[in-house]
Homo-oligomer: A and B are copies of this chain.
Amino acid sequence: MTDQVESDTTHDALDEYIARYSNWGRWGGDDQCGTANHITPAHVRQAATLVAAGEVVPLALQFDQNGPQTGANGRFNCLRYSVATGSDHALSRQMWAGGPLPRQMGYADDTVVLHLQSATHWDSLSHIFHRGRMYNGYPADEFTANGTTRNGSEVLKAKLVGRGVLLDIPRAKGVRWLDDGYAITADDLEAAAEMGKVDIGTGDIILLRTGQMARCFEEGWGTYAGGDAPGLSFFTIPWLANRNIAAVATDTWGCEVRPNELPDSFQPFHIPALVYMGLLIGEMFDLEALAAACADDGRYEMLVSAPPLAFTGTAGAPPGPVAIR
């Protein structure tokens, strides 16, 4: 396995990576799952053997008004409304189907208004387009006002269950968190794997901790959503591609380092990675409890269960993600 070194003209790197690492057609002309295909039943079976303590660690933010969004770009923190309340029950003001409930019974219900990318979520393979196409070459305009006909979140509803490996970069570097703008390199990834005594291989779900969320828990969200951040260097794409990883989920807004490394670009990593490789990218995962648990017992591999909810035709969706270890 030879990881591609970065080209000296970054502008070319985009096209070069697209050409070199595209998986269009690799799993058939009708594939919609991309690198999630790297996870085979054998991987799942093997991952289940990693459950040693029987501990279940949650990996997601809560959905409420305390989230990171500011409203910019149409992204806001989850709105929740009570359709029925205990207060109304307590006051005998509650009805069901037009009448009072019998036997002193009451109930509560809720409706939420949720931007699917507003907190912990997986991008589906219809989230990013390039030159009028989405993953596997489907026309971008299959994603209309009615959602997408292919590469929606629902195709992943039995995917993203497998071996998870935590790469805790700040811990491997001996810092509390990475600074905004820090570009995580392939060497950083290797060092974190070495610290965790894990090899990274085919079908792995990488849980990549930058520590930015830990900092926000201390200092407030600030510009977390959409601003500068530590994250993967654009030039880690060869490393990720060569290892046949299934997915990478991070604790930042956008997975890749910001400011972005390529001139005249916005989240350029997403183009070769999501559009061409079909890499499943998870964002705003809360890896703090997991990092503490792994640091405590030194076990950095685990069974992960994190399929996105099956919102039909969507560009991404939240999972109820857990590490089982």
Interface residues of A (CB under 8 A from B): 14, 40-46, 48-49, 51-58, 60-66, 71-91, 93-97, 101-117, 126-132, 134, 139-148, 154, 157-159, 161, 226, 262, 264-268, 270-271, 303, 305-316, 318-320, 322, 324
Contacts and interface: CB of A to CB of B under 8 A. Distances in A.
A85 B85 contact: yes
A81 B82 contact: yes
A139 to B, nearest CB: 7
Nearest to A157: B58
Nearest to A41: B54
A161 B56 CA distance: 7
A108 B271 contact: no
A154 B62 contact: yes
A267 B303 CA distance: 38
B55 A86 contact: no
Contact of A60 (B52, B116, B309): B309
Most buried by B among A62, A73, A82, A115: A82
In the assembly, how many copies of this chain are there? 4
Contacts of A310: 58, 60-63, 320
A44 B55 CA distance: 7
A64 to B, nearest CB: 4
A318 to B, nearest CB: 6
Nearest to A112: B114
A112 B119 CA distance: 13
Contacts of A83: 74-75, 81, 115, 145
8 contacts: A62-B311, A73-B109, A80-B147, A85-B85, A105-B130, A105-B270, A161-B324, A306-B320
Given A42-B54, A44-B54, A322-B158, A144 B82 contact: yes
A112 B143 contact: no
B63 A146 contact: no
